[in-house]
Amino acid sequence: MLHILQHSPFQTDLEALLRCVKPGDDVLLLQDAVIAALSGTKALDLLLSAPISIYALHEDIEARGLTAQISNGIGKVSYTDFVGLTVKHEQQITW
């Protein structure tokens, strides 16, 4: 399943999201959710502790001026990659 997170981790219950993920799921961070990919944050620690792959939309990272602060454990994806993730996962949920 693809879990798409659009809101800031300060406005989202990441622990609830992580209770719903299964091994092999992917999480895509869009819009203000890319803040969850900042190095050294509790949100990042929670995400990295799960058996999932985590991606963030490169354009949203750049738009917020966060490129240098994003963890290396997060995959940076383009809009084309975003489409690829939606094709890979028949089921999707937006948080």
Region of 13 (left: φ > 0; alpha: ψ -120 to 50; beta: rest) is: beta
| Tens digits of residue pLDDT in 52-86 | 999 999 999 999 999 999 999 999 999 999 999 99
Q: Residue 27: what pLDDT? A: 97
Strands of 1-95, DSSP E: 2-5, 26-29, 53-57, 75-77, 92-94
Q: Residue 63: what pLDDT? A: 97
Question: In which domain, by residue range, is 52 found?
Answer: 2-94
- The C-alpha atoms of residue 15 and residue 90 are separated, in whole angstroms, by 23
In this structure, are residues 37 and 58 in contact, taking their beta carbons and an 8 Å threshold?
no
Q: Residue 33: what pLDDT? A: 97
pTM (2 d.p.): 0.92
Number of domains in the chain: 1
**Average pLDDT of 20-49?**
95
Q: Residue 92: what pLDDT? A: 96
What rounded mean pLDDT belongs to the chain? Answer: 95
Task: Return the CATH number at 64.
Answer: 3.40.1260.10
